[in-house]
Structure 1
Amino acid sequence: MAAGQKMSRAQLTAMVVGGMVGAGIFSLPRTFAGATGPFGAVIAWLIAGTGMYMLARVFQALAERKPELDAGVFAYAKEGFGDYPGFLSAFGYWIGSCIGNVSYWVLIKSTLGAFFPVFGDGNTLIAIVVASLGIWAFHFMILRGVQQAAAINKIVTIAKVIPIVVFIVILAFMFKADMFRYNFYGGDLTDSVFEQVRATMLVTVFVFLGIEGASVYSRYAQKREDVGVATLSGFFIVTTLMVLVTLLPYAVLERSDIAGMRQPSMAAALEAVVGHWGAVFVSIGLMVSVLGAYLAWSLICAEVLFTAARTRDMPKVFATENRNKVPAAALWATNLVVQLIVISTYWSRDAFSLMLNLTSAMSLIPFLLVAAYGLMIVRRRETYDAIRPKERGRDLVITVLATIYTIFLLYAGGVKFIVLSAVLYAPGTILYVWARREQGLPVFARVSDWVTFVAAALGAVVGVYWLATGYITI
């Protein structure tokens, strides 16, 4: 690859921060206040922060010990567990990222809805038309070149952190200890602390998505070690911002008031403290932030699909590039899926929450397989005889904790979203069948592949039945 296509450590870090600081951070005050008080929020962030830190360390270790696996998330699942699990990881990560991109458009339109009622909560007809125009405007900009888009992302990342920092500084200055103590245990909430914490887990997954952004782009890195450094740097920057954004509103407003705010609740919280200009200021910051995150995730979506096709896990049509070295076919497929899901939000009662939770649920299987593969190579001593053997004990602890955390997330997410994710996973297998036929290979090479497919198919049938009967509502 030409030197001009390589990314510096700063650009890789901006991809991580840009991917993580998006829609989620602006929705944290209401989302957490609806479930818990500061006590439960601190516990939730300790669990999520520790778990995601361990996962970030797994990504860092795998980037260093398995440099030949340069496709990021799904390459590890394929190497560790076979072709079909590798495909499911790639497909789940890709489709989950597409759904995440839809949540960005919903939040933008919901933000505009506070000033222009025609946009409603982000899923009116006008909102869908405007979002559609935005999708294809970004599409054609990205087709002009990945490096150009990455450079724009670095500038946007700096710009969008500013209103978040201003929000934190103003609320820290207005801090009322009595109010914070009043809200501390959740006020009038009756759920146990465990249930309060559990209710926040899918949200924390959503806001941490993007932590693997540098890993996905590892083939563009100027130096291999930059991937790990960028991942950890981005993690610490964003975690600090998210914890402060979550906790500080409890010190200026009652929990029940925060829980009743419209999204983006960060804008509503600042408006309650300083007046209308606060809502306008944060809303402008949100626009920049979310559009920047959308750019980063559009790049990541196309890169995942392109790389999966390049390694023959997806149909080869998605491995084509245009003259600007952009994976054009993968980008077209990504944005067509995003467009269809945007249209579907018209029939959703709470489109933003649905997109947020479903994005998280689709990401859990890929993350679990990465953690499990990290544990696998530690147990087998792979690479440890040749590369820093003394780190094996430390890495064993890290990979065990990362695996336990991702299993806990599946439990915390609940059956509803596991079943909904199966509704997407099962039909996605058509792409796997297509790719295997292109190569003249048997569709399922192992008994475990058949078992996995049957489980996904049964989950999809149950999911469709629950949707049809109203047991699950969207």
Structure 2
Amino acid sequence: MTDKTDQKLSLLALTGMVVGSMVGAGIFNLPGRYATATGPFGAIIAWCIAGTGMYMLARVFQTLAERRPDIDSGVFAYAKAGFGDYMGFLSAFGYWLGSCLGNVFYWVLIGSTLGFFFPEAFGDGSSAIAIIVSLAGIWAFHFMILRGVEQATHLNMIVTIAKIVPIIVAILAFILFFNYSQFSENFFGGVDMPEKTLLAQVRDTMLITVFVFIGIEGASVYSRFAKKRADIGAATILGFVGVTGLMVAVTLLPYATAPRSAIAGVQNPSLAGALELAVGHWGAVMISIGVLVSVLGAYLAWSLICAEVLFAAAKSQDMPKLFSAQNSNRVPANALWLTNIVVSLFVISTYWSRDAFNFMLDMTSVTALLPYLLVAGYGVLLARSGAGYEDAPGERARDQIFAWMAVIYTLFMFVAAGLKYVLLVAVLFVPRTILYFWARREQNARLFTPVELAVFGITVLAGAAGAYGLATGIITP
């Protein structure tokens, strides 16, 4: 049996978890998604908004790791500490569900990338062969993770390094072929693109920015494995700064190598198409290979995070105790089994989907917003109360400002996402509340406080509205 101390993670390993979680599929789709929405001027504004908002959220995670060292698996545990059991459950379930949808998105992208090399077999990533390959990959990772978290995190470090290399090569190539005249022509929108207000341009980039920043909490989720508690906050900030720099470069530099309309027209993964416009076919091949390595690495990281969130929720009695079981390698086996069964079912369902790629991306983004909002809200409550600030009372006002800014940013993201996705998330939440009922019954505990009952009622109404919209065709996936 592996000794507990053998699996403690260093600052480098925790930073690798953050980078590995964030650098997945999203970064390879930034050029096309941004070019469709806006030119460099709008992109700069969008990144300023997204970067500032997510930096505030990163600072909240850092602060909570320092001020509440007793809380592990912080994403949902912070929500529970601040807002009660039911909100903790919603946060845990929402984060787990969003992570599962994100893993489905990864396999769709793997299939569509293989379609670049074998178009007849893999197509857009939802063909029968693509689904069979995806299912084989899901269960190969499953049994590898069952052998131990330490082995998986070491592999994650290797894959993280490997997938950064093609991104850096692409950035250097874009710099080498940088054309100032082309960049200037694209700056305020370019030619042959529909005219939109600047506000509409920025709004249309918001969901992709949420998606590419998901994973910022990777170190916090794995806090129980940290060698030093202070490393959690440091890893979060280091990972955030490094990955943000890569994402901004990947977004802006292609505007200096080709017309915006050409970049907007390339197929996913759009970084491959954008690089092909600049350097030729070899660029697309290199990025396609990089996508496969990157997405497999991100899938590994998110499989670990999915199981860890479900396990920690069960340990804190927010999920049925069935999911708190660990095998001899201290891997939450039952949580991992449920996660991969759900991911497999969603992957199979993509066979009947018309646009699984973008739908899974946007749904993953929206499901992450509620956990982020509750974390930011708890940051506000903690700073206001002063708990944990006995040794640094002067930092309370600063941390409260950071937390309020994170709250405002997350609410803005909900508005930018639109009512459709909020209602669809509620549709998924309502029937799964049976897991909460199951857990409360195991403890002989009261189901809801009056406030929680009101929240449950609102969730049911939103779910009913979403189900009605789907049944009548008002809402389409």
TM-score w.r.t. structure 2 length?
0.98
Which segment drifts farther, 46-55 or 340-349? Answer: 340-349
Shift in Å at residue 211 of structure 1? 0.4
Partner of 2:129: 126
**Contact preservation (8 Å) 2:22, 2:214:** yes
Where 1:325 maps in the other structure, the secondary structure is coil
Partner of 1:315: 320
Partner of 1:377: 382
Partner of 2:216: 211
Where 2:457 maps in the other structure, the secondary structure is helix
Partner of 1:448: 451
- Picking from 5, 22, 25, the partner of 2:24 is 22
Counterpart mapping for 1:326-341 below 5 A: 326-341=331-346
Partner of 1:95: 97
Which segment drifts farther, 108-117 or 158-167? Answer: 108-117
Partner Cα separation in structure 2 for residue 345 and residue 472 of structure 1: 18
Partner of 1:433: 437
Partner Cα separation in structure 2 for residue 173 and residue 92 of structure 1: 43
Partner of 2:141: 138
Shift in Å at residue 473 of structure 1? 1.9
| Cα deviation digits, residues 338-361 of structure 1 (max 9, x gap) | 011111112222211111100010
Counterpart mapping for 1:136-215 below 5 A: 136-187=139-190, 188-215=193-220
Shift in Å at residue 442 of structure 1? 1.9
Shift in Å at residue 7 of structure 1? 0.3
What letter matches 2:433 in structure 1? T
- Picking from 384, 393, 399, the partner of 1:395 is 399
Shift in Å at residue 464 of structure 1? 1.6
Where 2:71 maps in the other structure, the secondary structure is coil
Partner Cα separation in structure 1 for residue 386 and residue 312 of structure 2: 28
Shift in Å at residue 303 of structure 1? 0.2
Shift in Å at residue 426 of structure 1? 1.0
Partner Cα separation in structure 2 for residue 229 and residue 353 of structure 1: 33
Partner of 1:295: 300
Partner Cα separation in structure 1 for residue 177 and residue 207 of structure 2: 30
Partner Cα separation in structure 2 for residue 317 and residue 324 of structure 1: 17
What letter matches 1:172 in structure 2? I
Shift in Å at residue 129 of structure 1? 1.1
**Contact preservation (8 Å) 1:36, 1:189:** no
Shift in Å at residue 469 of structure 1? 2.0
Shift in Å at residue 166 of structure 1? 0.2
Partner Cα separation in structure 1 for residue 398 and residue 105 of structure 2: 37
- Picking from 411, 417, 422, the partner of 1:413 is 417
Runs of 4+ in 1 over 3 A off after TM superposition: none
Shift in Å at residue 13 of structure 1? 0.2
**Contact preservation (8 Å) 2:257, 2:277:** no
What letter matches 1:441 in structure 2? A
**Contact preservation (8 Å) 1:29, 1:265:** yes
Partner of 2:8: 6
Shift in Å at residue 267 of structure 1? 0.8
Counterpart mapping for 1:72-111 below 5 A: 72-111=74-113
Where 1:191 maps in the other structure, the secondary structure is coil
Shift in Å at residue 434 of structure 1? 0.5
What letter matches 1:351 in structure 2? A
Partner Cα separation in structure 2 for residue 358 and residue 312 of structure 1: 27
Partner Cα separation in structure 1 for residue 70 and residue 214 of structure 2: 24
Partner Cα separation in structure 2 for residue 460 and residue 190 of structure 1: 36
Partner of 1:457: 460
Counterpart mapping for 1:268-287 below 5 A: 268-287=273-292
Shift in Å at residue 35 of structure 1? 0.8
Partner Cα separation in structure 1 for residue 91 and residue 424 of structure 2: 16
Partner of 1:356: 361
Partner Cα separation in structure 2 for residue 302 and residue 189 of structure 1: 44
| Cα deviation digits, residues 407-434 of structure 1 (max 9, x gap) | 1111111101101110111112110000
Partner of 1:70: 72
Structure 1: give runs of 5+ residues left out of the alignment. none
Partner Cα separation in structure 1 for residue 290 and residue 355 of structure 2: 23
Shift in Å at residue 271 of structure 1? 1.5
Shift in Å at residue 375 of structure 1? 0.4
Shift in Å at residue 383 of structure 1? 2.1
Structure 2 residue 57 is the aligned partner of structure 1 residue 52: no
What letter matches 1:60 in structure 2? Q
Where 1:34 maps in the other structure, the secondary structure is helix
Aligned residues: 472
What letter matches 2:28 in structure 1? F
Shift in Å at residue 189 of structure 1? 3.1
**Contact preservation (8 Å) 1:374, 1:399:** yes
Partner Cα separation in structure 2 for residue 71 and residue 321 of structure 1: 16
| Cα deviation digits, residues 214-262 of structure 1 (max 9, x gap) | 0000010000000000000000110000000001111111111111111
Shift in Å at residue 27 of structure 1? 0.5
Aligned CA-pair RMSD: 0.9
Partner of 1:221: 226
| Cα deviation digits, residues 373-421 of structure 1 (max 9, x gap) | 000111122222x121111121121111111111111111110110111
Shift in Å at residue 6 of structure 1? 0.3
- Picking from 33, 37, 40, the partner of 2:39 is 37
Where 2:426 maps in the other structure, the secondary structure is helix
**Contact preservation (8 Å) 1:33, 1:256:** yes
Shift in Å at residue 70 of structure 1? 1.1
Where 1:141 maps in the other structure, the secondary structure is helix
Partner Cα separation in structure 2 for residue 346 and residue 459 of structure 1: 28
Which segment drifts farther, 69-78 or 458-467? Answer: 458-467
Which segment drifts farther, 386-395 or 94-103? Answer: 386-395
Partner Cα separation in structure 1 for residue 144 and residue 65 of structure 2: 30
Where 1:324 maps in the other structure, the secondary structure is coil
Partner of 2:408: 404
